[in-house]
Amino acid sequence: MDIQSVKQRFGIIGNSAGLNRALEVAVQVAPTDISVLIMGESGTGKEIMPQVIHQYSKRKHAEYIAVNCGAIPEGTIDSELFGHEKGSFTGAHEKRKGYFEQADGGTIFLDELGELPLSTQARLLRVLESGEFYKVGSSKVQKTDVRVIAATNTKLEEAIQKGKFREDLYYRLSTVPIKLAPLRERRDDIHLLFRKFASDFAEKYRMPTIVLTPEAKEMLINYTWQGNIRQLKNITEQISVIENSRDINAEKLSTYLPAVYQNNLPMLLPNDGESHSGMSERDILHKVLFDMKKDITELKKIIVDIVNNNGNVEVDFPENDIAIINKMDKDVRQEYAPRETFPARPSISFQQPDIHEHEEVEEILSLEEKEKEMIAKALEKHRGKRKYAAKELGISERTLYRKIKEYGLK
């Protein structure tokens, strides 16, 4: 099978060795019924591989169903996958076929596999091993002949260590693993993809195609692209629609590249013998937040001591910390000046604060409140659409659904 013809058929752009190898494996394994696990970061195009495998398999004329496991609430996912009997739970007004019953003889693609609850993982393992399953609310065994292809953007080995994913299911699904490289490891393909997207959007919006200057092209290629192909496509569309000039220089391009993902991010250096090697950006961010929470807790204890001691308390801070705290003190005064009258405080000597002030400071310093505020803003921005709000927050729809219930958000 010619890989180039596969690319043309499915609109796949790129010539990197990793992409070509992934396609070769997909085409080679397609005629079999072996389970395939596709691994790669979010936005790398994992959803294309199951379509390639299905179309080159003996099941190509049967049903192909793609399921986003992260988009289905935990309480209903068993019903979605395996179906349910009438009256099996509140709202089950009639009997329903699940995806495994609908896809009998065909292929089912389970995206975001790592989001499956452990109880559902046990059901899935039985389907893979024996082709048997039970509908929700039924004691009758049903058979299905389905080829399962799964994809994940999480490291399942780590999830297994944490007890969040079954080890036996992992080995059963990963008979043939296919790994898709992130866009930052496919530098030669970045400009090819940009040109394809620019051409498509020019045709869609009936306008001339945007073109990058050499400096802008260099910037595009050297960017980190944490959102991978999806992020590149979105930015190309933004530029195509917003910019009047069709010649895009480096200065214009830089305004569309989020600074948080630039290569010049400050690096966390090892402290007290601790090494951050192998940590992802999200892991490092979590560590920073936990360290910050620890500092906040210590600051709260100091404030409580001041309240309990009824008066001025001198606190022995290092010289650098005194400068920082004085600046924080000034910022807090400016923030609350319209509501509270603060006496002049020329030194770091603390006075006993009003108990309402103390509660407001604690509220400001609460990480939970900040999280709630960010979720509320994301939901408002996307008009209550959880799919897009979850994508912006960098969490799954199931996690967002749980947080909404936890915080009582609408």
Give the mean pLDDT of 338-364: 47
39: left (phi over 0), alpha (psi -120 to 50) or beta: beta
CA neighbor of 110 nearest in space, from 122, 119, 118, 121: 121
pLDDT tens-digit map of 294-311: 677 777 777 766 666 665
Is 300:353 a contact under the CB 8 Å cutoff? no
Nearest-angstrom CA–CA distance, 166 and 120:
10
Radius of gyration for the chain, computed over Cα atoms and rounded to the nearest angstrom: 27
pLDDT score, position 370 = 76
pLDDT score, position 286 = 60
Counting residues of the chain whose pLDDT is more than 90, the rounded percentage is: 57
Nearest-angstrom CA–CA distance, 301 and 305:
6
Is 201:236 a contact under the CB 8 Å cutoff? yes
pLDDT score, position 276 = 46
* Structure tokens, 316: 């022995």
Query: Which domains does the chain carry?
Result: 3-181 (3.40.50.300), 184-261 (1.10.8.60), 281-365 (no CATH), 368-407 (1.10.10)
pLDDT score, position 118 = 94
| CB burial readout 351-360, b (16+ within 10 A) else e | ebbeeebbeb
Amino acid at 401: Y
Question: Average pLDDT over the chain, rounded to whole?
Answer: 82
pLDDT of 26 higher than 70? yes
Nearest-angstrom CA–CA distance, 223 and 239:
16
Nearest-angstrom CA–CA distance, 315 and 332:
19
Split at pLDDT 50, 70, 90, the class of 340 is very low
pLDDT score, position 363 = 45
Of the listed ranges 119-123, 133-137, 337-341, the least confidently predicted one is: 337-341
Split at pLDDT 50, 70, 90, the class of 288 is low
Give the mean pLDDT of 15-32: 95
Give the mean pLDDT of 342-356: 47
pLDDT tens-digit map of 68-126: 999 999 889 999 999 999 888 887 888 899 999 999 999 999 999 999 999 999 999 99
Long-range pairs for 57-62 at CB < 8 Å and ≥24 separation?
Answer: 57/30, 57/31, 57/32, 57/107, 57/147, 58/31, 59/105, 59/106, 59/107, 59/147, 62/103, 62/105, 62/106, 62/107
Nearest-angstrom CA–CA distance, 374 and 389:
10
Counting residues of the chain whose pLDDT is more than 70, the rounded percentage is: 75
pLDDT tens-digit map of 257-278: 986 444 444 444 444 444 444 4
DSSP β-bridge partners for residue 110: 67, 150
